Structure 1
Amino acid sequence: MVSADRLAEQVADHIRGQILRGELADGEPLPKSEELIQRYPVSMPTFREAMRILEAEGLITVRRGRLGGALVHRPSPANLGYNLGLVLAAQRAGIDDVAIALRHVEPACAALCAGRPDRADAVVPVLRALHEEYVARIDDLVEVVGVSRRFHEALVGLCGNPPLIVLAGALEALWSSHEQDWATRIRETTGVPLRERRAAGEVHGQILALIEAGDTDGVHRLVTEHLTSAQRNPSPTAAVIDAALIRRQP
């Protein structure tokens, strides 16, 4: 006789497979529980356990109450970033360790972007739009930090190598959540001088130009220099990792 726990795992396995294959789209509601129980003839406690398994994996969000239900979430680097943050926090790693890791992997991703034969269509337009948005929002610290982080995340997300996109993307998600939290807090105190924001934007423009030109060595070198200079926030030498910050991002 199959145990209730094993039945719950089997139901979760089947729904998980549908999510991973794209049969259930990101943001799409799962069918109502009554319909799912007809499809998977298990008891209500077993069905709820299957939902708890999927929710713990970040693949669904269960909404309680009269208008409740479950929404599908396809796995993303942010999901991995949250779990990576938990592991690193348990090891007492600091956000400075994440910064060091990014200084090694993000320049490699940028070089891959520059080496893509289709970069003129697949990479450059995205980076140019983000660079233009950065310039347009430069007067608002929180907004411009958000755009800056999306620019750096795009250097990873557009590199064309799926393992790097996932692994480096998890690091980017961790760093971005901490930097965005820092920017929100610092805006009310000392802020960041406008000239520093403009200087960072100019470097982004240079990175874009090097990628457009296909200069893999040049962009690797520039991104390394840029990260070494820019990663002094959010006070990396003192900050411990707070994985919960990823959950709070919009």
Structure 2
Amino acid sequence: MSEPTIQFRRLAEQVADQLRRRILLGELADGSILPKEDELLREFPVSKPSLREAMRILEAEGLLRVRRGKLGGAVVRRPNAANVAYTIGLVLGSQDVSLSDVGGALRQMEPACAALCAERADRGHMVVPALRALHAEAVEAADDFQSAISASRRFHEALVALCGNQTMIMLAGALETLWSAHEQGWSTRVTDDGIVPIDERLAVLEEHRQVIDAIESGDAHRAHDLAAAHLITAQHYPGSAGMVDPAMVRHWDH
């Protein structure tokens, strides 16, 4: 590799490092538009190719989304579970990993999150009310298949999001996002609402209620075991036998 190419790459990486730091610190807000190229060149004394390479680095990392056209620009995207889910999906998809394998990982991680929820000293006002509200919404939507699937997935995602451990929230949250994207994609293709009878939907929701009760009482062991037992039956749907498709995450990114 020639010296000019090395220098070009080094300058691009330096610019990317500075912009990445601003994004991670929140100095560049999620959803904001980066300044125009001319403004960035005034701030960073590098060539246009170096600046554009820096943008490509950040875009590849998922920290920028470049929009083309008259209303175009580089849109800031702070890292979240959906970004991680997409990256994990790419890796698993490239290795022909089955969705059931993702389910197996969730059967280990989600019960641990339920236990962490039960261990939170502030669970009475930070965890339980949110889970109760989601449960009530799911019960209300039980007679509508797609709404019931959506409400149920939000409950599972909340168990992770409210556990209080940031590393687990990111890692388990990414797997929840990956699973939810596939399950919701499957639900939209279902033409027979009776594929999951209403009594089965209500039974699932009763298991959710028991997990919430265990969390509220602070019984981490029971919350863990109830969540683990629930997932063994709750993860079965026709699409779960397929392979991981990272494109599903992009489609259902919420």
Structure 2 counterparts to residues 1-250 of structure 1, below 5 A: 3-187=7-191, 191-236=195-240, 238-249=241-252, 250=254
- Shift in Å at residue 103 of structure 1? 0.6
- State the SS of the aligned residue for 2:133: helix
Kept in 2: contact 1:178–1:234 (CA 8 A): no
* Aligned residue identity for 2:123: R
* Aligned residue identity for 2:250: R
Report the TM-score, using the length of structure 1 for normalisation: 0.93
**In structure 1, C-alpha distance between the alignment counterparts of 2:148 and 2:52, rounded to whole Å:** 42
- Shift in Å at residue 98 of structure 1? 0.7
* Aligned residue identity for 1:22: G
**In structure 1, C-alpha distance between the alignment counterparts of 2:70 and 2:78, rounded to whole Å:** 25
* Aligned residue identity for 2:245: D
**In structure 2, C-alpha distance between the alignment counterparts of 1:190 and 1:196, rounded to whole Å:** 10
- Shift in Å at residue 10 of structure 1? 1.1
Structure 2 spans left out of the alignment, 5+ residues: none
- State the SS of the aligned residue for 2:196: coil
**In structure 1, C-alpha distance between the alignment counterparts of 2:210 and 2:187, rounded to whole Å:** 24
Kept in 2: contact 1:141–1:187 (CA 8 A): no
User: Superposition RMSD on alpha carbons, in Å?
Assistant: 1.7
Kept in 2: contact 1:141–1:191 (CA 8 A): no
- State the SS of the aligned residue for 2:164: coil
Identity %: 55
- In structure 2, do the counterparts of structure 1 residues 52 and 190 end up closer, same or farther at CA, with 3 Å as the change threshold? farther
* Aligned residue identity for 2:82: A
For residues 133-155 of structure 1, the C-alpha deviation after alignment (integer angstroms, 9 at most, x for no partner) is: 21222233222212211111111
- Shift in Å at residue 188 of structure 1? 5.3
- State the SS of the aligned residue for 1:129: helix
Kept in 2: contact 1:120–1:212 (CA 8 A): yes
**In structure 1, C-alpha distance between the alignment counterparts of 2:60 and 2:150, rounded to whole Å:** 28
Kept in 2: contact 1:179–1:234 (CA 8 A): no
- In structure 2, do the counterparts of structure 1 residues 24 and 187 end up closer, same or farther at CA, with 3 Å as the change threshold? farther
For residues 83-128 of structure 1, the C-alpha deviation after alignment (integer angstroms, 9 at most, x for no partner) is: 1112112222100111111111110110000010011121112212
Report the TM-score, using the length of structure 2 for normalisation: 0.92
